[in-house]
Amino acid sequence: MTTFISSNLGYPRIGEKREWKHALESFWGNNITEKALINQTTKLRLANLEKQQKLGIDWIPVGDFSFYDHVLDTAFSFGVIPTRFQDLDEKSLDTYFGIARGTKEAVAAEMTKWFNTNYHYIVPELNDVTPKLVENRALTYFLEAKEKLGIIGKPVLIGPVTFVKLSKGYEENELSDWVEKFLPLYAQVLNELTEAGAEWIQIDEPILGTNISNQELELIEKTYQTLRAEAPQAKILLQTYFETVQHYQKVVQFPVNGIGLDFIHGESLELIKKWGFPKDKVLAAGVINGRNVWRADLDTTLELVEEINGAVDVETIILQPSCSLLHVPVTKDSESKMDPIILNGLSFADEKLKEIQAITEGANKGKASIQTILEESKTAREALAHSSYRQNQSVAQELKELEGEEVKRTIPFSKRIRLQREELKLPILPTTTIGSLPQTAEVKGTRTKWRKGDITNQEYLEFIDIETKKWIQIQEDLDLDVLVHGEFERTDMVEFFGEKLNGFAVTEFGWVQSYGSRCVKPPLVVGDVSWSNPMTVREIVFAQSLTKKPVKGMLTGPVTILNWSFVHEELPRFTVQNQIALALEKEVLALEKAGVQIIQVDEPALREGLPLDHLKWPAYFDAAIKAFRISTATVKPSTQIHTHMCYSEFSEIFEVIDALDADVISIETSRSHGELIDTFEKNKYDKEIGLGVYDIHSPRVPSVEEIKLNIERALRTIDAKQFWINPDCGLKTRGEAETVAALENMITAAKQVREAYSVTNK
């Protein structure tokens, strides 16, 4: 008879009210000491472990906590410190944070998305590094849980192949050599954990869900053969998630004690039914969605568990979320203002662990043992499914009219750009910013007062206007060519639209870590999405009234709104995406009608939303292109459409970017040190483009010379007539003084390059 055990893969590190974020930022602001930071985060970490214990989880993860990022933690533990930081103390938190955020002397390490999520990790740099075990972090946290709480936790490690694959600073043919350099260190970590009493050790290899080559598969197999030989007593759970495991038949035969599979995303059930599962291994089944926030259909989940059990012949099945709960908010208990119909349909991290515990009990004791929980869940789900949120017939009709229709601009870019240049009369190498400007404590505090009802709507709008006027003047004084209104009325580039579009709901405390201490509150797509009133026109028109220079209209695109929201699962995602696109089209046309000449529709999440399996890419790309065009294609030819993308590998999606048919695209390149420019050396791109010339995720102010080098590097590949100069992302999280100083240097650099170009081309 099979025994079912409950488990978790990882827990949110931020705290119910973002206590982790506040502690970090207080430390960075020199308001608390390092000792106070450690004390506060230790208290939070232990509380998280106790909570999971009280929720009935059998296998509780340890080592999933981080001060910034778990990939950076792994790098730091193994002495993988970028060359420019190697003269600093290899164990110091200042060095750790310097790598993540940069210092006055050194730029931060590159940051990019963790697979197809909105979580950013710090990219390890392997060049000029000799790996060594500086600290066994997993052991530290394991002993902490054991000694302070009596919890025998399940240490969590990033697997050696995934770690090296996500790193930079080596040639492709050196992958195997680099993995081998880390194996003795991993073996030491495993042995020390086992000696300390760790019963199971979770090693995450999400790279197995990607299209790895046969050679890479052999490397992974060899890796675990080595670890088995070097750490024979360690009980290894090889954990995968986010997608179907490629080469399933081979992977399940690896010399490990258990295999973790994602049964929510991909085809894991079909694979075990077809090929079976080794009798001598533990199967860890991800049966609760770790990436969405809706209540699970527990009856269906129990049926899934029964199907899994029927397809395998193992003694133990672990029931767990599909991935770490890092990607969802902590608890819905703090939500006090939400419609109960929506609230009852939600399941955040704590609620998901309750679902895991219930399913485990039902699997062990029978369905009748959790009948009350099943009925409660079913009632809540049905109430939301049959609510007015999901009965918008006019939206359904609009979508039907789009079926089979090709959506495109009325004339090609080569003709549009001539009209736009005549209208806008911008200089060569025009300067602009991406959109948002610094949101100070005063801005945030005033918004909080408004939300609490301490000030009126009119008082709030007047405050926003004052901030907008101040920053329009600053931009005028700096002599930027294309201005922005600053987005002071917006909490977040997606949540803002979630507050204004029909079919969305927003939370009070539904925070999720995006990068470092930066947390976002993804809105909830609860039903059919539609537009009812202008969302951005008032602020843009006011800003434009203050200047003769063009002010960009600023919107978030349909693909990004979808990917950065928690979307209900009653309709296909691409259908919901087109609903969002139709709503945004109405806003775009409202801006154009109000006289806005440049409209930016940002799609920073287009690349990150790609399925990990390349075979699923064409359908995703087709849907993304269609949705963006639905949003933007009906404007006049003279209206210039911009878009922005950040932290993406673009070589694989170059044709898709072109097919969006935006007139100007801006892309982050600063942290990748111009590597993206190689893409434009290999591909012809005829539209206009801005490659971010300095990194806004670091507080350091780049010099004029540094920015000039980035500009000149790009101009060796891209025609000056096509090139825009801008920071690599929005400036909301930066301070006012550093923002002005950095923009001043950027504009100075642009003018110097512009002058040199004019002299050369006389």
Residue ranges of the binding site for 5-methyltetrahydropteroyltri-L-glutamate: 18-21, 113, 118, 518-519, 564, 608
Q: What is the largest CA-CA distance in the chain?
A: 85
Asked whether the beta carbons of 234 and 201 are under 8 A apart, the reply is: yes
Burial class (CB in 10 A: 0-12, 13-18, 19+), 206: buried
Rounded to whole angstroms, the Cα distance separating 591 from 299 reads 47
**Backbone phi and psi for residue 168, each to the nearest 5 degrees, phi listed first:** -130, 175
Q: Where are the beta strands (DSSP E) in 593-721?
A: 598-602, 640-645, 664-667, 688-691
Q: Dihedral of the CA atoms 585, 588, 589, 591 (nearest 10)?
A: 160
> Binding-site residues for L-methionine, please?
434-436, 487, 602
Rounded to whole angstroms, the Cα distance separating 261 from 271 reads 10
β-sheet with 664-667: strand ranges across:
553-556, 598-602, 640-645, 664-667, 688-691, 723-724
Residue 433: partners with Cβ closer than 8 Å, 6 or more residues away: 475, 480, 484, 726, 727, 730, 731, 743
Rounded to whole angstroms, the Cα distance separating 322 from 217 reads 22
Residue 613: partners with Cβ closer than 8 Å, 6 or more residues away: 209, 210, 211, 243, 244, 246, 266
Strand 524-530 vs strand 502-505: parallel, antiparallel, or unpaired?
A: antiparallel
Strand 316-321 vs strand 3-6: parallel, antiparallel, or unpaired?
A: parallel
Cross-strand bridge partners of residue 556: 602
Residue 515: partners with Cβ closer than 8 Å, 6 or more residues away: 69, 111, 119, 120, 697
Strand 664-667 vs strand 640-645: parallel, antiparallel, or unpaired?
A: parallel
Q: Residue 259: which H helix or E strand, with range? A: strand 258-262
Give SS3 for 36: helix
Rounded to whole angstroms, the Cα distance separating 690 from 707 reads 13
The gap from C-alpha 480 to its chain's centroid, in whole angstroms, comes to: 30
252: left (phi over 0), alpha (psi -120 to 50) or beta: alpha
> Binding-site residues, please?
18-21, 113, 118, 434-436, 487, 518-519, 564, 602, 608, 644, 646, 668, 729
Selection from 399, 398, 426 nearest residue 642 by Cα: 426
> Binding-site residues for Zn(2+), please?
644, 646, 668, 729
- Exposure of 211 in the CB half-sphere (CA atoms within 13 A): 8
Known catalytic membership, residue 697: yes
Q: Where are the beta strands (DSSP E) in 375-506?
A: 502-505
> Binding-site residues for L-homocysteine, please?
434-436, 487, 602
Residues classed as catalytic = 697
